[in-house]
Amino acid sequence: MVADKGKKSKVAEVGEEEESEHIDGELVLSIEKLQEIQDELEKVNEEASDKVLEVEQKYNEIRRPVYNKRNEIIKSIPDFWVTAFLSHPALGDLLNEEDQKIFKFLSSLDVEDFKDVKSGYSFTFNFNPNPYFEDTKLMKTFSFFDEGTTKITGTTIKWKEGMDTTNGVNHEKKGSKRPLTDESFFSWFGETQQKDITEGIHDEVAEIIKEDLWPNPLKYFNNEPDEEDFEGDEDDEESKPNQIGQWMYLRNADAGAPPVSSSVSLSRPPMEVQCSPRSLGVYE
């Protein structure tokens, strides 16, 4: 009797093992099929990425003459770019008092993707002759390589004697207080590096200019509110700065008026830009 129970127990154990092996086999088979489907999806995504790049490249060529036409019109508007920069909720804080004076000589700004969109893009700041540096063109370029590295190059600015703002701008001493030193926007051109993308290269200035300011600088020149601004209290309308007044103030600064402070109150809340340098998401 005891022997029969032992035999039944062993038979049960063998049955459970066979059932477990059957379940494990089905699980492995399901995972393998799932992997095949994922591989198929990856292939479709790669094809879609290629198509997106083709479309982006096509429309970059269509947009180029329109951008050129826009730049020509902007040249006829005094202080356009310094006004647009100062009105931007993120970029405005990057211009110290001396930077604002230099930006008054900025005649045009250009942002251009490489012909092969995923290979990179460049920024070109064109300046009229000015008392600060010899250059009439300052550039910064971001180049992406297949092995996963990014190369960043920038113009080495040829500052005129005593005019280099990247060494810090010293404000006049007031009373017993020590003068303050502000970092210059023009230090950005000297911030170059070559790193593995996995190390996390994020140039927020480049991203904001390329993805936000460049597409529609007129919005910031006019200080147009974002849609979410209309959801706030109507009383906020009274506190919005007069953008035309700010522009005229900048125009009169050459006559000896104090420069516009970069801490001027803005109508928009501070923005957080999370866009990648590779905004298409197809560079991995």
148 — alpha (psi -120 to 50), left (phi > 0) or beta?
A: left
Residues 195 and 160 in one domain: yes
282: pLDDT strictly greater than 70: no
Range of the domain at 57: 32-76
Check residue 250 and give its pLDDT: 56
Residues 215 and 120 in one domain: yes
Check residue 118 and give its pLDDT: 87
- Compute the distance between CA of residue 187 and CA of residue 261 in angstroms, rounded to an integer: 19
Check residue 233 and give its pLDDT: 47
- What percent of the chain has pLDDT above 90? 49
Could you tell me which residue, 133 or 278, shows the higher pLDDT? 133
Residues 40 and 146 in one domain: no
280: pLDDT strictly greater than 70: no
Number of domains present in the structure of the chain: 2
Looking at 78-82, 145-149, 195-199, 201-205, which range is the least confident one? 195-199
Check residue 13 and give its pLDDT: 61
Residues 213 and 110 in one domain: yes
Instruction: Determine, yes or no, domain membership for 27.
Output: no
Residues 71 and 196 in one domain: no
279: pLDDT strictly greater than 60: no
Check residue 20 and give its pLDDT: 67
CA distances from 148 to 78, 199, 256 (A): 42, 10, 50
Residues 40 and 102 in one domain: no
Check residue 143 and give its pLDDT: 93
The pair phi, psi for residue 113, each rounded to 5°, is -75, 150
Rounded to an integer, the average pLDDT of 190-198 is 66
Residues 140 and 196 in one domain: yes
Give 31-56 pLDDT, tens digit per residue.
999 999 999 999 999 999 888 888 98
**Per-residue DSSP letter, 168:** -
Check residue 186 and give its pLDDT: 96
- What CATH number has the domain bearing residue 160? 3.30.1120.90
Could you tell me which residue, 248 or 30, shows the higher pLDDT? 30
Check residue 224 and give its pLDDT: 78
Q: How many CA atoms lie within 13 A of 41 on its CB side?
A: 6
Check residue 227 and give its pLDDT: 57
Check residue 146 and give its pLDDT: 83
Instruction: Determine, yes or no, domain membership for 228.
Output: no
Residues 158 and 58 in one domain: no
- State the pLDDT confidence band at 263, using cuts at 50, 70 and 90: very low
Check residue 17 and give its pLDDT: 65
Instruction: Determine, yes or no, domain membership for 192.
Output: yes
Check residue 148 and give its pLDDT: 81
Local structure of 223: helix, strand or coil: coil
Residues 83 and 215 in one domain: yes
Check residue 103 and give its pLDDT: 98
Residues 141 and 203 in one domain: yes
Check residue 123 and give its pLDDT: 98
